[in-house]
């Protein structure tokens, strides 16, 4: 955040921010007021919704799957705003797991998440999204290069599926790698974090050990983003072939994307 940016305080929407201001490798910056990111909008208050409506959004991209939407609810309706759902995870893959995280006792959490398993699960998830969600990310970039801005991207917590999608978009804009990582890690700020809910009857409650076991699931860590970038290199040989061959981003589309999202 720069000193000239006043960040809004939203009550029912976590992890909201404007991605504007990030520097590119050729000395330009991401334009302010065209690309936002957040957690889900299902619990937005009237004041939150009024703020979001004033942004002049064209499209809200929701990366949640049907299980997420059933758990949290649909996004709040914003007048004149197009809602596009592009699920980046399989509902069958995660629903049972997250139920166990919220309701399982300490012994179950140890067996599921202990000894590095939680972090390994997150790393595997990022690698999967890079390899298997190329059509979805390609569609997203084509939408942004078209008429879909100003846009807001979100998932549930706004940190993983949205975080990776923002990172992919910033790669296509030639944003400096350090700036991409710094924006990604902003999701760890205390006021941005997803509120963790455990069943009142869950064994161990929210004891220090439970918090330590589940922390890798509710934080962003450099290792997760690095795993995504490493997968791009291992699978396609680098960012440029990933964008062109993996996501189908032509030079013309990339130029239009840069024109829409970067300062002149």
pLDDT tens for 235-258 read: 999 999 999 999 999 999 999 999
How do residues 84-141 score in pLDDT, each as one tens digit? 999 998 766 666 776 777 777 788 889 889 999 999 999 999 999 999 999 999 999 9
Instruction: Point out which residues pair with 38 in neighbouring strands.
Output: 154
Query: What whole-number distance in Å separates Cα of residue 23 and Cα of residue 255?
Result: 17
Task: Report residue 182's pLDDT band, with 50, 70 and 90 as the boundaries.
Answer: very high
- Residue pair 152/55 in contact (Cβ under 8 Å)? The answer is yes
Q: Report the pLDDT value the prediction gives residue 34, as an integer from 0 to 100.
A: 98
Q: Report the pLDDT value the prediction gives residue 22, as an integer from 0 to 100.
A: 98
Query: What whole-number distance in Å separates Cα of residue 224 and Cα of residue 81?
Result: 32
- Residue in the block written with tokens 């705003």: 81
- Residue pair 15/157 in contact (Cβ under 8 Å)? The answer is yes
Chain Cα centroid distance, residue 47: 23
- Residue pair 242/220 in contact (Cβ under 8 Å)? The answer is no
Instruction: Point out which residues pair with 35 in neighbouring strands.
Output: 151
Q: Report the pLDDT value the prediction gives residue 251, as an integer from 0 to 100.
A: 97
Query: What whole-number distance in Å separates Cα of residue 52 and Cα of residue 48?
Result: 6
- Residue pair 228/127 in contact (Cβ under 8 Å)? The answer is yes
Task: Compute the average pLDDT of residues 219-246.
Answer: 97
The model's pTM: 0.91
- Residue in the block written with tokens 């922390």: 215
195: left (phi over 0), alpha (psi -120 to 50) or beta: beta
Chain Cα centroid distance, residue 217: 14
């Amino acid at each position: 955040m720069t000193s000239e940016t006043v960040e809004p305080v939203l009550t029912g929407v976590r992890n909201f921010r404007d991605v504007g201001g990030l520097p590119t490798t050729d000395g330009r910056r991401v334009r302010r007021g065209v690309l936002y990111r957040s957690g889900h909008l299902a619990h937005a208050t009237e004041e939150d919704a009024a703020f979001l409506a004033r942004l002049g959004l064209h499209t809200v991209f929701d990366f949640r799957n049907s299980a997420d939407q059933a758990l949290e609810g649909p996004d709040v309706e914003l007048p004149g705003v197009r809602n596009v759902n592009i699920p980046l995870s399989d509902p069958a893959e995660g629903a049972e797991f997250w139920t166990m995280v919220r309701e399982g006792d300490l012994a179950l959490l140890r067996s599921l998440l202990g000894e590095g398993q939680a972090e390994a699960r997150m790393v595997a998830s990022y690698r999967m999204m890079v390899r298997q969600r190329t059509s979805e990310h390609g569609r997203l970039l084509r939408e942004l290069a078209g008429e879909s801005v100003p846009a807001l991207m979100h998932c549930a917590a706004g940190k993983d599926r949205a975080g990776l999608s923002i990172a992919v978009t910033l790669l296509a804009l030639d944003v400096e790698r350090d700036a991409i990582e710094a924006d990604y890690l902003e999701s760890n700020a205390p006021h941005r974090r997803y509120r963790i809910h455990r069943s009142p009857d869950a064994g161990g409650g929210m004891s220090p050990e439970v918090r330590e076991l589940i922390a890798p699931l509710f934080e962003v860590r450099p290792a997760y983003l690095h795993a995504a970038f490493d997968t791009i290199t291992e699978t396609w040989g680098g960012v440029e072939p990933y964008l062109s061959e993996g996501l189908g981003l032509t030079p013309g589309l990339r130029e239009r994307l840069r024109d829409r999202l970067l300062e002149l």
